[in-house]
A and B are shown apart, each in its own frame.
Chain A
Amino acid sequence: MKVVITSSNKTLADPIDMHFGRAKFFILADTETGKAVVHDNAQNLHAAQGAGIQSAETVAKLGAEVVITGSVGPKAYKALQAAGIKIALLEAVCPGTEALRRFKDKELPVLDKPNSEGHWV
């Protein structure tokens, strides 16, 4: 299964980024092969508006089935839903490797509604 982890830096050893829309990096990891590819989210990080929406489009294009992150706003949630991407929720910062292990061990709850306020509008 292909999952995206929101990350504060370029490798799975780095701490995750708790934000979805304005995450610094997306790391696409394959739970079967363990292969990980990093995607720089700088463009959306600096978007004036709609960062979550575009980030949802980005992870959809990466082919992710699940996003592992700390918070998802209302528009990003709606966009991820439309793309059929599930959200696995982390309650605190941890390294990407641990986030992935906990996801595989089914320790992470699946988000069924936005858990963050929208920004600006």
Chain B
Amino acid sequence: MKAFPAIAIASGKGGTGKTTVAVHLAACLAAQGRAVQYLDCDVEEPNGHLFLKPKMERSESVGIPVPVVDAAQCTSCGKCAEVCEFNAIAMLKKPLVFPELCHGCGACALVCPVGAIRETSRAIGVVETGRTGTIGFAQGRLNVGEPMAPPLIRAVKARRNPDAIALFDSPPGTSCPVVATVRDADLVVLVTEPTPFGLHDLALAVDTFRPMGKPMGVVVNRADDDRRVQDYCQAENLPVLAELPDDRRVAETYARGELVFDRLPEWRDRFDALWSRIEECL
């Protein structure tokens, strides 16, 4: 096992408790005296800061490179438009660039035979870093209306401290932002709930991460006597790392943006136990 593994906390369905699990794992590891960093990769709606209340130290703008064509040098050969996988350049008399469609891959500048394309940065969001007690903190905030989340997620993860356990708080779903988050994690913790929706979307998440060869474990949040999620996990050979009981007091604490441990010390034991199970899976 690595001294400082990276754990992604993901789910198919939104609202299952990814952030709850991630921030409490962070607090629990810090209380055990371990070096830990929480990285909020849910850049469209980063919420972890509401619970961890970090003191921010830096805020850096993040952009992606987009092409600018020098009309004087351009020979209108059309190679840039041809190579663009994202239809961000149209060849009409002169190349016409649509920066909002550009993924910043740089292919157009590479193929231009006369060097008429230079790249300029288009801002997509900010990365903020700081600390809360001994917990390292990083989050991305994507500009409203901006579709290009993965480059910002990569920028958040570039702030990873190699000398701390990393907790990646993932966005929900199964598309590019989730894959960008989970890609270099050593283990994926899938948080779900015992409802038909939770189970359905858990299966989608498992189908997403299995081809990536990621070890996975499941946390059943708000667990009750519905055992369908556990039955699914058994059939799919997925370890259930924890069953967190449905407890109104937890919801109340959450709604105030507080950590559950502060009010309900017995929950500390549940997260210690969860971490032990995670370590067994690494």
A residues in contact (CB < 8 Å) with B: 47-51, 53-54, 56-57, 60, 75, 78-79, 82-84, 120-121
In the complex, the answer to whether A50 meets B86 with C-beta atoms within 8 Å is: yes
In the complex, the answer to whether A57 meets B147 with C-beta atoms within 8 Å is: no
Given A50-B87, A121-B147, A82 and B98 contact (CB-CB distance below 8 Å) = no
Given A75-B98, A121-B100, A50 and B92 contact (CB-CB distance below 8 Å) = no
B75-101: contact bitstring with A at CB < 8 Å (1 yes, 0 no)? 000000100001110111110101011
Which secondary structure characterizes the binding site on chain A? helix
Q: How far is the CA of A78 from the CA of B99 in the complex (A)?
A: 13
For the complex formed, measure the closest distance between the CB of B205 and the CB atoms of chain A, giving whole angstroms.
22
- 10 closest pairs, A vs B, by CB? A50-B87, A83-B92, A53-B90, A82-B92, A57-B90, A79-B90, A82-B96, A54-B87, A121-B147, A60-B92
By a CB distance below 8 angstroms, the chain B residues around A50 are: 86-88, 98, 101
In the complex, the answer to whether B147 meets A120 with C-beta atoms within 8 Å is: yes
Interchain Cβ contacts under 8 Å between A and B, 6 examples: A50-B88, A53-B96, A53-B98, A53-B101, A60-B93, A121-B147
By a CB distance below 8 angstroms, the chain B residues around A49 are: 86-87, 101
Q: How far is the CA of A60 from the CA of B96 in the complex (A)?
A: 13
Within 8 A of A (CB), among B59-86: 81, 86
For the complex formed, measure the closest distance between the CB of B54 and the CB atoms of chain A, giving whole angstroms.
31
B residues in contact (CB < 8 Å) with A: 81, 86-88, 90-94, 96, 98, 100-101, 147
By a CB distance below 8 angstroms, the chain B residues around A51 are: 87
Q: How far is the CA of A48 from the CA of B92 in the complex (A)?
A: 21
Q: How far is the CA of A49 from the CA of B86 in the complex (A)?
A: 7
For the complex formed, measure the closest distance between the CB of A121 and the CB atoms of chain B, giving whole angstroms.
5
Determine the residue in chain B with the shortest Cβ distance to A83. Answer: B92
Given A82-B92, A83-B92, A83-B93, A53 and B100 contact (CB-CB distance below 8 Å) = no
Determine the residue in chain A with the shortest Cβ distance to B103. Answer: A49
Given A49-B101, A120-B147, A57 and B91 contact (CB-CB distance below 8 Å) = yes
In the complex, the answer to whether A78 meets B101 with C-beta atoms within 8 Å is: no
Q: How far is the CA of A27 from the CA of B92 in the complex (A)?
A: 20
For the complex formed, measure the closest distance between the CB of B156 and the CB atoms of chain A, giving whole angstroms.
22
Q: How far is the CA of A49 from the CA of B147 in the complex (A)?
A: 12
For the complex formed, measure the closest distance between the CB of A55 and the CB atoms of chain B, giving whole angstroms.
9
By a CB distance below 8 angstroms, the chain B residues around A57 are: 81, 90-92
By a CB distance below 8 angstroms, the chain A residues around B87 are: 47, 49-51, 53-54
In the complex, the answer to whether B93 meets A84 with C-beta atoms within 8 Å is: yes
By a CB distance below 8 angstroms, the chain B residues around A54 are: 87, 90
Q: How far is the CA of A54 from the CA of B91 in the complex (A)?
A: 9
Q: Could you say which of B86, B91, B93 has the most chain A C-beta atoms within 10 Å of its C-beta? A: B91
For the complex formed, measure the closest distance between the CB of B96 and the CB atoms of chain A, giving whole angstroms.
5
By a CB distance below 8 angstroms, the chain B residues around A56 are: 90, 92
